Amino acid sequence: MTLKHFFEEARAGRLTAIRCRRCGDLAIPPKEFCPACQERDWAPIPLAGGGAITSFTVIRVAPRGRAAEVPYAVAVVRLEEGVSLLGRIVDISLETLRVGLPVRFRPLIMGEQAAIGFGPV
């Protein structure tokens, strides 16, 4: 599974990890080599999309062209399947954000591009 395919799937609302066929390690987004055993024999694994915030950062100074979007939060979310993924928080007020808050994956469509988002459960 390529990174491009991963984001195409995400755009369609499907979150997919890959599982190493040799050691069983899960990875998301897809990598070329397994970080645990250096194998490159992966099987795609559909994920349920639910998880909880393990850390987050509030972005107050935007990248170029994104000034209208700040402030927003970016969080590391530990998914139910045990892998963690970085995504942007949507539809959750910054005041209520906290570590341990349950969230659910949702695609963020920005023009041609799709990004990982997490919203309320």
Neighbours of 48 (CB within 10 A): 11
Q: What is the DSSP track for 38-71?
A: ----EEEEE---EEEEEEEEEE-SPPTT-GGG-S
- From the CB of 84, what's the least distance to Zn ion, in Å? 17
Question: Which C-beta is closer to Zn ion: that of 36 or that of 121?
Answer: 36
Integer Cα distance of 51 and 26 in angstroms: 15
Question: Which C-beta is closer to Zn ion: that of 34 or that of 101?
Answer: 34
- From the CB of 51, what's the least distance to Zn ion, in Å? 22
Question: Which C-beta is closer to Zn ion: that of 22 or that of 78?
Answer: 22
CA atoms within 13 A on the CB side of 21: 5
Interface ranges with Zn ion (CB under 5 A): 20, 22-23, 25, 34, 36-37, 39
- From the CB of 37, what's the least distance to Zn ion, in Å? 3
